[in-house]
Amino acid sequence: MISENFEKYGLKKSQPIWGIVIAVLAIIWGIYLQGKSADLPVYLVAGILIGYVLTRSRYGFAGGVKRVFYRGESSLTTAIIVLFAITAMVNIGIQWFASTKGAVPAWQATSPTQAVIPGTQNVRIGNIPVILGGFLFGMGMIMAGGCASGTLSDFGEGEGHAWIALPFFILFAAPGQYLGYQMDQTAIGKIGINVWLPQYVGYAGAIAITLVIMLILYGITKAYENKKKAEGMYLPPNSDWEDFEKPIPDDEKEPFKWNSWSTYHKFFVERWTFLVGSVGVAIGAIFVITTTGKAWGVTTPFVTADQKFFGLFGMKFTSGAFDETAKAMSGPLLQNGGTIRNIGIVAGAMIAFLMAGRFSMKFKMRFSDFMGYAVGGAFMGFGARMARGCNIGALYSSITNFSLHGYIFMFFLILGAATAIKLFQGRIALCPRYLSPNAA
């Protein structure tokens, strides 16, 4: 029965076997990593969890901007706001508890062994590099069809745009890191806002302000959605779901059996809602901060990979810009926790698509599309490292750890995304022409 339904929906019935094979290989790799360092399997588990959730729910931060613009519906945008709220409420407890045990903010630590309040590593000044980096990153994620985490999960799904964008993302990470550092050292780079909310308004004040801001963002989002509805530019949230992704109607469900299509579909094929995705991503991010003492990030390992690559050609990295990757550079790339977590995201996404029988490599594109993906990847790599973080490190993990600069990054990321949509609509595949309701 399961096999017949795979064929009915055009899904590939042999792919779940490969999904199981990859899962088993991941377990074997995790056992191997355990022998190298006890914490490395934790990074792998976190990555697989996050990648699987992103793909099962078709979740992405780039879509939070693009979807509401093109479709007029805010289901993903509001789910992202919920994600921020959930994570912030958990993080405030983690940070408060750490502070009661004598931990200090990362910038106040006087020795490598001093206890640091988890997540405060993501607090930094909101300055020109953050503004420029956020704008470039916002443009890049629209051109390339995904943010940092989205590019990794799309890579695992076989999306050609991610396979083009990711190498350029990594390639331009180290140059962005260097330029951002150099700008930070200048007089203009030292002008900005550096605020960790608990330091100024206490932990209760920090979470209260954060939740109020999330409520305001929700109100703005719903007002924009209502405007789109009034203009006749609204589409229902699930109108783009594939038939096989939709829940099986009650009158077609089989009695519960482990080997029934209804059960298999529920566990591996049915698409999760964006709100379910928010809960899953929040669980993954909270797992990261509680097991590593640091918030989730994606792009710092890209800098390490970039350094390793350029090092093959004899290039040396002596600038202070690369102090934060010095420890990772001292060992093999595949024994770096952040890199392992990123590989886990790819693997988790691939497992999700294989178990659903829907994995395929998608490389049909025009040259203009190829260039859009490549330049978009370069913009993301350059912008993310100028700002010392992407949609995860500089946006999600900064805001949910109460750094004010995350909001600055968010504003200019949205501005950059809107600019890319306007500039490239109709010119590259991932930016279709926007037709207003008054268009002929």
Q: What is the dihedral of CA 217, 95, 386, 195, to 10 degrees?
A: 70
Note the pLDDT of residue 180: 96
User: Rounded to two decimals, what is the model's pTM?
Assistant: 0.95
pLDDT in tens, 33-55: 999 999 999 999 999 999 999 99
pLDDT in tens, 283-304: 999 999 999 999 999 999 999 9
How many residues does this entry show for the chain?
Answer: 440
State the pLDDT confidence band at 78, using cuts at 50, 70 and 90: very high
> Average pLDDT, stretch 350-360?
97
The DSSP output letter for 272 is: P
pLDDT in tens, 306-318: 999 999 999 999 9
Note the pLDDT of residue 257: 83
Query: Phi, psi (5° rounding) for residue 403?
Result: -95, 125
pLDDT in tens, 150-183: 999 999 999 999 999 999 999 999 999 999 999 9
CA distance 157 to 401: 30
Cβ atoms within 10 A of the Cβ of 55, count? 27
Query: Phi, psi (5° rounding) for residue 290?
Result: -80, -25
Contact 165, 144 (CB under 8 A): yes
> Average pLDDT, stretch 196-223?
98
Angle, helices 405-424 vs 128-144, to 10°: value is 40
Domain boundaries, the chain: 14-109+116-424
Amino acid, res. 3: S
Q: Which residues pair with 126 in a beta bridge?
A: 193
For 90, counting Cβ atoms within 10 Å of its Cβ (0-12 exposed, 13-18 middle, 19+ buried), the class is: middle
> Average pLDDT, stretch 106-133?
95
Note the pLDDT of residue 436: 56
